[in-house]
Amino acid sequence: AGEYGSDDGVIATNDDATSCKACAVSLGYWKDPYLACFLPSGPDRRPPEINRGFYCRTQAIYLLVQKFIQVNKGECQVVNLGAGFDTMFWRLKSSGDTPVRFVELDFPEVTAKKTHYIQRSKPLLQAISHDDYDVKLNRSNLHAFKYKLMGADLRVLPEVEAKLEESDIDYSLPTVFVAECVLVYMCTTKSSELLKWIAKKFKSAFFINYEMVNLGDRFGEVMLSNLRSRHCDLHGAAACATLLSQQERFVSEGWAGAEAADMMSVWERLPRSDVARVIKLEMLDENELLTQLFTHYCITMAWTDTRWTDITL
């Protein structure tokens, strides 16, 4: 906490995200046998539009990261910023798409809990193990063959740099960064510093950012005040004003280009057969509510290297 005050509210957002994902998984939206290992108490039931929202976000991010790994034939790295209890490493591993290195950063409070769950779970531990490499761990850091979980405050660049180096990061390898509902919790000065540092430091970077957008209207205001009352301040909300501002935050920090799309258009680009399966899972009383939600969240892809402009949904 220190100069930034208490981070408890932000840290709690991970429990909420995990529980929402676990609810959608339990209803069959997508397969994730690993998530339950991080939620021993089981998920709470969520409304259908929330489940569809989480399906859309999880699938889209997964497909983009998988494409990046496949295009690079695995000779690349993934860095998941504010990863929470995300299971992407295990899901990729089970489909045979692993990068050279997969690094996750979050507050030490979160990575300590994740480390604890990983140690207790045979399937999680098995997937990160390698015959010639001992898993090294302490309270909040875990160092396996490809998978690295590190406690760091993303607002403190020297900490981020030190933890990436401890993970044996290779600045010359193509690297995809994921920030799934994370940057909004940091003030824009700090998130901009981070984006600028990545663009400068990595030879070839691709960024996938998921967060709120179009917050200027009535629905956006209500959404923000709900989130604020449940969790914490959303210091970065200013950067989420429009799709254009989401793109500009990258370009103005030295990225070669960026493209932002709201979740309505992301939903339309997801594989149709899977979408057809998913819409049969639960009745949606009010399509309007889903449309509202989808137009208030977006995915922004940004690149420092024009080779990655082909990576789209």
Binding residues for S-adenosyl-L-methionine: 57, 82, 153-154, 180
- Per CB under 6 A, the list member of 32, 49, 180, 193 interacting with ligand SAM is 180
The whole-angstrom separation of Cα 46 and Cα 206 is 32
The residue whose two tokens read 């490499």 is 133
Instruction: Candidates 82, 99, 220, 236: give the one binding ligand SAM (CB under 6 A).
Output: 82
Residue 17 contacts ligand SAM per CB under 6 A: yes
Q: For the purposes of burial, counting CB atoms within 10 Å of the CB of 226, is it exposed (0-12), middle (13-18) or buried (19 or more)?
A: exposed
Least distance between ligand SAM and beta carbon 185 (Å): 4
Regarding 182 and contact with ligand SAM (CB under 6 A), the answer is yes
Sheet holding 136-137, edge to edge: 136-137, 142-143, 147-151, 101-106, 77-81, 175-180, 205-212, 297-303, 257-262
Query: If binding is defined by CB under 6 A, does position 99 make contact with ligand SAM?
Result: no
SS3 for 229-274 is HHCCCCCCHHHHCCHHHHHHHHHCCCCCEEEEEEHHHHHHHCCHHH
- Spatial neighbors of 22 by CB under 8 A, at least 6 apart, are 35, 36, 39, 42, 43
| 202 scored as a contact of ligand SAM (CB under 6 A) | no
Q: Is 223 in the site for ligand SAM (CB under 6 A)?
A: no
Helix axes 48-71, 8-26, angle to 10 degrees: 90
User: With respect to ligand SAM, which residue has the nearer C-beta, 37 or 204?
Assistant: 37
Q: Does 103 bind ligand SAM (CB under 6 A)?
A: no
Pick from 24, 65, 103, 181: which binds ligand SAM (CB under 6 A)? 181
Residue 25 binds to ligand SAM (criterion: CB under 6 A): no
Tokens 């399509």 correspond to 287
86 binds ligand SAM (CB under 6 A): yes
The partner residues of 106 in beta bridges, in order of sequence, read 151
**Alpha helix ranges (H) inside the chain:** 8-26, 48-71, 88-94, 108-120, 122-128, 157-166, 188-201, 218-230, 243-251, 263-269, 272-278, 287-294
Shortest Å distance, C-beta 135 to ligand SAM? 22
Q: In terms of CB distance, is 90 or 204 closer to ligand SAM?
A: 90
Among 90, 107, 177, 207, binds ligand SAM (CB under 6 A): 107
185 vs 303 by CB, closer to ligand SAM: 185
CA distance linking residue 297 with residue 302, whole number of Å: 16
Tokens of 103: 């690094």
Closer to ligand SAM by CB, 231 or 269: give it.
Answer: 231
Per CB under 6 A, the list member of 43, 84, 220, 236 interacting with ligand SAM is 84
**Does residue 127 touch ligand SAM according to CB under 6 A?**
no
* Size of interface with ligand SAM, in residues (CB under 6 A): 20
The annotation places the binding site at: 57, 82, 153-154, 180
Binding site for ligand SAM (CB under 6 A): 10-11, 13-14, 17, 82-84, 86, 106-107, 110, 153-155, 180-182, 185-186
